């Protein structure tokens, strides 16, 4: 199969990606383009292993072309024209007998990392050279998977009648309350980077009914851990006329679909426990447990943890719960005091709230709930949390225009990618991570 849009460079143009060459092409002239991953020289013959974004192709060189190839540094970018032929190599269906090699761009002889992964570098060194690091197929796989996951998420929401929206990331006041806001000068006043699209997504259900957004959150949290970043992506959703249990149903359907997609994509190199046949079957067939906050506290106390009803769950508590309820589980009905001002109380037990978190073991992946849409109660919740009506006046007035009851959630995309791709550091799932010590490249 030829590439649909030939990459044309001067006289020659690419006809195939590496992975497209099959036995059906034997005898045909083709052109491939990519970088030299390896060069083996056995005297009269030489072999260039040429890699492109889709995979590897073995090419065979002799005579003048072999002489020329001996001087090209590895990782240089070349275009190779050749004839497809049978191969004795076990890992390839066919190989190319090279007729012409065009050097497009020579790589330096000393590279900061080995993108074949044979010589391992630590993550910081790799992140400093991320563009080159992506030539490592294991690294590339995570980002190809991520791109596919984003596509499935968009399809899922569109099938469920959600409209994709884009809300501002430069804002004039806090969206979540609290102090973890990045601020900067905005034409002689203060501007902030959005902590989340919470207020906008709620306002938008007034007219759009169901919305979702895939966008970065910015948080000035001084948490340098394997699961925190200062800029991270979230999949946010908000829907009118649904309550939090229906939102949990949607989240669960979505996550299950993403697990199936991950398995089918074959982009996960490492042994990921969630893709082991038995676990995969359980995760995709059975309902994720929904455990009330109160029952979590009882469970923790039975396990000897010093935790009282009304307290937030510490990392240590979440680790304990994660050992007990491995994989995905919801913690539902948190005390209202532990939740942001916009979360709705339970009508039959107003100290508790219609809220949930989705956990993967100790890792919090999603947080959401039914929202308070009664403006009087919303105002008193703001006061209780020490937030001024004035800073939220643009938001509060929308609730006087006929706001429907609504619910929603925010899903940490980078954390979900950790689970799907089986890595334990969030930085592996983000191209150019921003944490407390890293702001470039």
The residues that touch ligand AMO, with contacts defined as CB under 6 A, are 176, 196, 198, 219, 221, 228-229, 232, 234, 236, 364-368, 408-410, 412, 414-415
**Spacing of C-alpha 264 from chain mean position:** 17
CB nearer ligand AMO, residue 75 or residue 230: 230
What CA–CA distance (Å, rounded) separates 411 from 176? 15
Look at residues 133, 165, 160, 134 and name the one whose alpha carbon lies nearest to residue 147.
134
Binding residue per annotation — 371? yes
Q: Is 221 annotated as a binding residue?
A: yes
SS3 235: strand
**Alpha helices, DSSP H, located in 55-175:** 63-69, 123-128, 130-133, 137-159
Rounded to a whole number of angstroms, the minimum distance from the CB of residue 188 to ligand AMO is: 29
Which helix H or strand E contains 47, and what residues bound it? strand 46-52
Q: How far is the CB of 202 from ligand AMO (least distance, A)?
A: 9
Asked if residue 367 belongs to a known ligand binding site, the reply is yes
Known binding residue 415? Answer is: yes
Tally helices (H) and strands (E) across the chain: 12, 20
229 is in an annotated binding site: yes
At closest approach, how far in Å is the CB of 425 from ligand AMO?
12
Residue 39 or 356 having the CB closest to ligand AMO = 356
Residue 412: phi, psi to the nearest 5? -75, 105
Between 80 and 366, name the residue whose CB sits nearer to ligand AMO.
366
By beta carbon distance, the residue nearest ligand AMO is 412
CB of 8 to ligand AMO, least distance (A): 42
In terms of CB distance, is 59 or 198 closer to ligand AMO?
198
Do the annotations mark residue 414 as ligand-binding? yes
Residue with Cβ nearer ligand AMO (38 or 231) = 231
Q: Does residue 290 sit in helix, strand or coil?
A: strand
Q: In sequence order, what are the residues at sequence separation of 6 or more whose Cβ sits closer than 8 angstroms to the Cβ of residue 359?
A: 318, 321, 322, 325, 328, 329, 330, 331, 365
Q: What is the Cα Rg of the chain in Å? A: 27
Rounded to a whole number of angstroms, the minimum distance from the CB of residue 147 to ligand AMO is 19
Q: Is 413 annotated as a binding residue?
A: yes
Least CB distance to ligand AMO at residue 415 (A): 4
Structure tokens belonging to residue 356: 């949930």
Q: Cβ distance 50 to 18 under 8 Å?
A: yes
- Provide the annotated binding site for Mg(2+): 364, 367
Residues annotated as binding site for L-aspartate? 176, 219, 367, 371
Point out the annotated binding site for ATP: 219-221, 227-229, 364, 412-415
């Amino acid at each position: 199969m030829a590439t649909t849009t030939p990459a044309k460079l001067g006289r020659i143009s690419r006809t195939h990606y590496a992975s497209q060459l099959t036995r059906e092409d034997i005898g045909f002239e083709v052109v491939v383009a990519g970088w030299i991953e390896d060069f083996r020289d056995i005297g009269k013959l030489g072999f260039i292993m040429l890699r492109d974004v889709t995979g590897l192709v073995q090419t065979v060189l002799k005579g003048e072309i072999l002489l020329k190839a001996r001087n090209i540094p590895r990782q240089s970018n070349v275009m190779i024209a050749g004839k497809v032929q049978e191969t004795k190599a076990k890992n390839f269906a066919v190989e190319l007998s090279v007729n012409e090699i065009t050097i497009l761009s020579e790589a330096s002889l000393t590279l900061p990392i080995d993108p074949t992964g044979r010589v391992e570098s630590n993550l910081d060194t790799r992140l400093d050279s991320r563009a080159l690091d992506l030539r490592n197929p294991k690294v590339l796989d995570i980002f190809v998977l991520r791109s596919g996951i984003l596509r499935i998420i968009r399809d899922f929401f569109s099938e469920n009648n959600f409209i994709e929206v884009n809300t501002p990331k430069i804002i004039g006041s806090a969206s979540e309350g609290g102090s973890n806001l990045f601020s900067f000068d905005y034409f002689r006043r203060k501007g902030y980077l959005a902590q989340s699209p919470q207020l906008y997504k709620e306002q938008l259900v007034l007219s759009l009914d169901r919305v979702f957004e895939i966008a970065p959150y910015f948080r000035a949290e001084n948490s340098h851990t394997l699961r925190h970043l200062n800029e991270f992506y979230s999949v946010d959703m908000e829907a009118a006329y649904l309550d939090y249990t229906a939102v949990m149903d949607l989240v669960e359907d979505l996550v299950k679909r993403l697990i199936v997609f991950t398995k089918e994509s074959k982009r996960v190199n490492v042994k990921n426990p969630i893709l082991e046949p038995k676990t995969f079957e359980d995760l995709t067939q059975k309902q994720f447990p929904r455990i009330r906050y109160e029952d979590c506290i009882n469970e923790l106390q039975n396990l000897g943890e010093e935790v009282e009803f009304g307290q937030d769950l510490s990392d240590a508590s979440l680790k304990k719960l994660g050992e007990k309820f491995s994989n995905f589980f919801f913690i539902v009905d948190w005390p209202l005091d532990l939740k942001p001002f916009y979360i709705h109380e339970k009508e039959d037990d107003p100290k508790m709230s219609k809220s949930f978190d989705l956990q993967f073991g100790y890792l919090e992946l999603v947080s959401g709930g039914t929202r308070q849409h009664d403006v009087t109660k919303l105002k008193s919740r703001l006061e209780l949390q020490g937030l001024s009506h004035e800073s939220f006046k643009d938001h509060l007035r929308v609730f006087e225009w006929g706001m429907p009851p609504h619910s929603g959630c925010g899903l940490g995309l980078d954390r979900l990618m950790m689970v799907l791709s089986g890595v334990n550091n969030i930085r592996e799932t983000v191209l150019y991570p921003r944490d407390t010590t890293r702001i470039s490249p």
